[in-house]
Amino acid sequence: MSTPASTTSVINECFICHSSLSECEVVIVKERGIRTFIKSSANRTLQANERLLKTLTVVPVHNACQKKYNNPKLIAAAIRHGDTDLRKPTVQLAIY
């Protein structure tokens, strides 16, 4: 029986913030945690994350990202503000 490529490939970035996993403390989330991520993705209306998570059996993420992504209060606040993604804000410089 073969394993889907997405479960065996090396993941180098956090699917939540899209930063390198070498930047912070990393946790390996397994099936139960992935189910929670799928629910949080549905609440945040992030279908791409939902589809990705349904193909995985384990996923490495930053510990801080995991806590923020699944926090019901932060999900509600993100929905109110229309910002459901946890990517780090990009700095834009204006040159005058």
Per-residue pLDDT of 41-89, as tens digits, reads 999 999 999 999 999 999 999 999 999 999 999 999 988 888 766 665 4
94 located within any domain: no
16 part of a folded domain: no
90: in domain: no
Beta bridge partners of 13: 20
Exposure letters 35-73 (e unless 16+ CB within 10 A, then b): eebbebbeebebeebbebbeebeebbbbeebbebbbeee
Domain count, the chain: 1
pLDDT, residue 51, reads: 95
pLDDT surpasses 50 at 21: yes
Q: Distance (Å, rounded) from C-alpha 91 to C-alpha 74?
A: 22
Query: Which residues constitute the domain of residue 59?
Result: 26-81
- pTM across the whole model: 0.75
